């Protein structure tokens, strides 16, 4: 029996190279973020808080595939629904050797808060399969996808839980998911069971670029609102991008198209630097040809750790979790961090960055363009419609600007009412240290948790 990677479930992950004093389990981080934010919501009772913090469902499936050579290989897959108070579960499916149950739980909960920040009528969900796509053929990946989706059965569906692409999955994977689900549920419109599909089979124009475009819109709005003193536009700004996949490579192209100078980029193998500016499309073509950004002409090569500490105006983490931590946050030399990735910054790093006045546009806001256009795709599918790309981008722009404004305004509101909030906590008999000024991540959490809590109580706890 072949094993792609260790297929035993692993409960904790510690992505990152060095020994860390910090707890890097992503679900522990997600819970800590929730607990910190909940302190700023005086009328959030402990029972409701616990319900909102924990996932409502976690499924683990174990399944085999038979390769073209006739070998049987086994895989473990997860699908977690964190919360469905505001609508069907929504979230990507990741293929990676380091996927863990707790990573999937964390990513699912971040989806709940992201959809709430953007005011998109979805809940939060996420999935993952422990596998190494680099070692598998396309046929194997198709078999893994089909069997995983068949194992999930009716746990996903157009009005219950709707997957999308994430790390190492793409429009082609989404087409296989749709086809598998449709084969098992014939005779009805199943297009809305998955988003991020190819455009000629129900995908939305603009979805492929949406995560990165949304990150750009959020950055532009935050800069125009004066979040970074002295930096009011991406035009002329120096930008470093970590990760050169869907989110990172397209972000580099879109920021460059707005006049930014892309001075360094990286992928899993390392980074390249040219302070005069890189041509992001030429780098992408080089990566497609050679498998890495390394070796691109006229550049200095750096390690992934070094890349993060290059002096720049804007740093865009677009790879995986826990890359900005307590052990390197003091070395970051960016003025603004725009989180295209999910969970790139740990709570300890957030504290250091806040003290150093480095602004962070948090993942649950900055990379929400993807789920926003996924929502538009779902609406188009259910209405048998196809919108023009300009219409999609315009609608997303409006939502990203509104959400960015809401988060910045929430931060101002909280930080200007700390005395009242502390007095209320005392009156309610709440324990713990006094509330202190919040960063944009905490403001986004407070906004999101309040919205989900409100809808939960409006619906009423069933039965």
- The answer to whether 245 contacts ligand NAD (rule: CB under 6 A) is yes
Q: Indicate which single residue of 216, 318, 338, 414 sits in contact with ligand NAD (rule: CB under 6 A).
A: 318
- The answer to whether 26 contacts ligand NAD (rule: CB under 6 A) is no
Q: Indicate which single residue of 25, 145, 190, 266 sits in contact with ligand NAD (rule: CB under 6 A).
A: 266
With respect to ligand NAD, which residue has the nearer C-beta, 104 or 247? 247
Q: Which stretch binds ligand NAD (CB under 6 A): 63-71, 81-89, 340-348, 384-392?
A: 340-348
Nearest to 169 by CA among 133, 215, 209, 122: 133
Smallest gap, in angstroms, from Cβ of residue 293 to ligand NAD?
A: 8
∠ CA 182-186-189, nearest 5°, is 70
In angstroms, rounded to a whole number, what is the distance separating the alpha carbons of residues 172 and 319? 20
Region label for 70, one of left (φ > 0), alpha (ψ between -120 and 50) or beta (otherwise): left
In angstroms, rounded to a whole number, what is the distance separating the alpha carbons of residues 244 and 212? 11
For residue 126, indicate whether it is catalytic: yes
With respect to ligand NAD, which residue has the nearer C-beta, 39 or 126? 126
CB count, 10 Å around CB of 352?
A: 20
- The answer to whether 9 contacts ligand NAD (rule: CB under 6 A) is no
Q: Which stretch binds ligand NAD (CB under 6 A): 52-60, 72-80, 266-274, 420-428?
A: 266-274
The count of C-alpha atoms lying within 13 angstroms of the C-alpha of 219, restricted to the half-sphere facing its C-beta, is: 28
Q: Which residue number is nearest to ligand NAD in terms of Cβ?
A: 245
Q: Are 401 and 219 in contact (CB under 8 A)?
A: no
Output the six-digit token pair for 49.
């808080």
Smallest gap, in angstroms, from Cβ of residue 145 to ligand NAD?
A: 15
CB count, 10 Å around CB of 128?
A: 28
- The answer to whether 367 contacts ligand NAD (rule: CB under 6 A) is yes
Smallest gap, in angstroms, from Cβ of residue 287 to ligand NAD?
A: 8
Smallest gap, in angstroms, from Cβ of residue 46 to ligand NAD?
A: 31
The order of strands in the sheet holding 300-302 is 300-302, 270-273, 261-267, 238-242, 312-317, 334-338, 359-361
Q: Which stretch binds ligand NAD (CB under 6 A): 236-244, 395-403, 405-413, 429-437?
A: 236-244
Smallest gap, in angstroms, from Cβ of residue 214 to ligand NAD?
A: 9
Q: Are 452 and 83 in contact (CB under 8 A)?
A: yes
- The answer to whether 195 contacts ligand NAD (rule: CB under 6 A) is no
Output the six-digit token pair for 307.
């890349």
Nearest to 442 by CA among 150, 39, 58: 39
- The answer to whether 252 contacts ligand NAD (rule: CB under 6 A) is no
Smallest gap, in angstroms, from Cβ of residue 429 to ligand NAD?
A: 39
Smallest gap, in angstroms, from Cβ of residue 224 to ligand NAD?
A: 23
Output the six-digit token pair for 131.
């596998």
Smallest gap, in angstroms, from Cβ of residue 366 to ligand NAD?
A: 9
For the chain, the residue count is 463
Q: Indicate which single residue of 85, 175, 320, 453 sits in contact with ligand NAD (rule: CB under 6 A).
A: 320
Output the six-digit token pair for 205.
């124009």
- Torsion sign across C-alpha atoms 366, 372, 377, 378: positive
- The answer to whether 246 contacts ligand NAD (rule: CB under 6 A) is yes
- The answer to whether 267 contacts ligand NAD (rule: CB under 6 A) is yes
Cis peptide before 463 (omega within 30 of 0): yes
Q: Are 30 and 347 in contact (CB under 8 A)?
A: no
First to last CA, the chain: 47
In angstroms, rounded to a whole number, what is the distance separating the alpha carbons of residues 1 and 415? 58
- The answer to whether 118 contacts ligand NAD (rule: CB under 6 A) is no
Output the six-digit token pair for 311.
């002096």
- The answer to whether 242 contacts ligand NAD (rule: CB under 6 A) is yes
Q: Indicate which single residue of 48, 76, 101, 167 sits in contact with ligand NAD (rule: CB under 6 A).
A: 167
14, burial (CB in 10 Å: exposed 0-12, middle 13-18, buried 19+): middle
Q: Which stretch binds ligand NAD (CB under 6 A): 143-151, 159-167, 186-194, 277-285?
A: 159-167
In angstroms, rounded to a whole number, what is the distance separating the alpha carbons of residues 234 and 256? 9
Distance of CA 291 to the CA centre of its chain: 24
- The answer to whether 87 contacts ligand NAD (rule: CB under 6 A) is no
Inter-CA distances, 280 with 261, 270, 288, Å: 10, 16, 12
Q: Indicate which single residue of 340, 365, 392, 414 sits in contact with ligand NAD (rule: CB under 6 A).
A: 340
With respect to ligand NAD, which residue has the nearer C-beta, 39 or 90? 90
- The answer to whether 148 contacts ligand NAD (rule: CB under 6 A) is no
Active-site entry in 126, 142, 197, 287: 126
Total interface residues for ligand NAD by CB under 6 A: 24
- The answer to whether 341 contacts ligand NAD (rule: CB under 6 A) is yes
Contacting ligand NAD within 395-454 (CB under 6 A): none
With respect to ligand NAD, which residue has the nearer C-beta, 34 or 244? 244
Site residues for ligand NAD per CB under 6 A: 165-168, 211, 242-248, 266-268, 304, 318-320, 340-342, 367, 370
Catalytic residues: 126
């Amino acid at each position: 029996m072949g094993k792609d990677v260790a297929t035993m479930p692993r409960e904790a992950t510690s992505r990152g190279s060095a020994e860390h004093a910090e707890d890097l389990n992503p679900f522990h981080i997600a819970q800590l973020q929730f607990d910190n934010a909940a302190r700023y919501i005086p009328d959030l009772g402990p029972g409701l808080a616990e319900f909102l913090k924990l996932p409502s469902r976690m499924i683990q499936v174990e399944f085999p595939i038979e390769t073209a050579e006739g070998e049987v290989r086994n895989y473990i897959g997860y699908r977690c629904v964190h919360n469905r108070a505001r609508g069907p579960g929504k979230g990507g499916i990741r293929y990676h050797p380091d996927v863990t149950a707790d990573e999937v739980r964390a990513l699912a909960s971040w989806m709940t808060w992201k959809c709430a920040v953007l005011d998109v009528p979805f809940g939060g969900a996420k999935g993952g399969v422990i596998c190494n796509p680099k070692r598998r053929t396309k046929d194997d990946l198709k078999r893994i996808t089909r069997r995983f989706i068949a194992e999930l059965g009716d746990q996903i569906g157009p009005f219950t839980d709707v997957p999308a692409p994430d790390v190492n999955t793409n429009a082609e994977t989404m087409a296989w998911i749709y086809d598998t689900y449709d084969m098992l549920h014939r005779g009805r419109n199943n297009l809305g069971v998955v988003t991020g599909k190819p455009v000629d089979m129900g995908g939305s124009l603009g979805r492929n670029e949406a995560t990165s475009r949304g990150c750009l819109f959020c950055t532009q709005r935050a800069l125009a609102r004066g979040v970074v003193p002295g930096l009011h536009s991406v035009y002329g700004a120096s930008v470093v991008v970590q990760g050169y996949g869907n989110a990172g490579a397209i972000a580099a192209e879109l920021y460059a198209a707005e006049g930014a100078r892309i001075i360094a980029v990286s992928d899993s193998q390392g980074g390249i630097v040219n302070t005069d500016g890189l041509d992001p499309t030429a780098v992408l073509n080089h990566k497609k040809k050679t498998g890495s950004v390394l070796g691109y002409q006229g550049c200095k090569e750096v390690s992934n750790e070094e890349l993060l500490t290059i002096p720049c105006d804007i740093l865009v983490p677009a790879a995986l979790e826990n890359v900005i931590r307590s052990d390197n946050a003091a070395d970051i030399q960016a003025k603004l961090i725009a989180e295209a990735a999910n969970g790139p910054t740990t709570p300890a790093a957030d504290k250091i960055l806040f003290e150093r006045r480095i602004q962070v546009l948090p993942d649950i806001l900055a990379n929400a363009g993807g789920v926003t256009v996924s929502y538009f795709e779902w609406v188009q599918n259910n209405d048998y419609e196809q919108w023009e790309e300009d219409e999609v981008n315009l609608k997303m722009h409006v939502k990203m600007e509104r959400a960015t404004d809401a988060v910045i305004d929430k931060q101002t509101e909280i930080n200007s009412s700390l005395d009242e909030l502390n007095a209320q906590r005392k009156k309610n008999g709440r324990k713990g240290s006094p509330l202190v000024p919040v960063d944009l991540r905490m403001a986004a959490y407070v906004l999101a948790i309040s919205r989900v809590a409100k809808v939960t109580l409006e619906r009423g706890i069933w039965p």
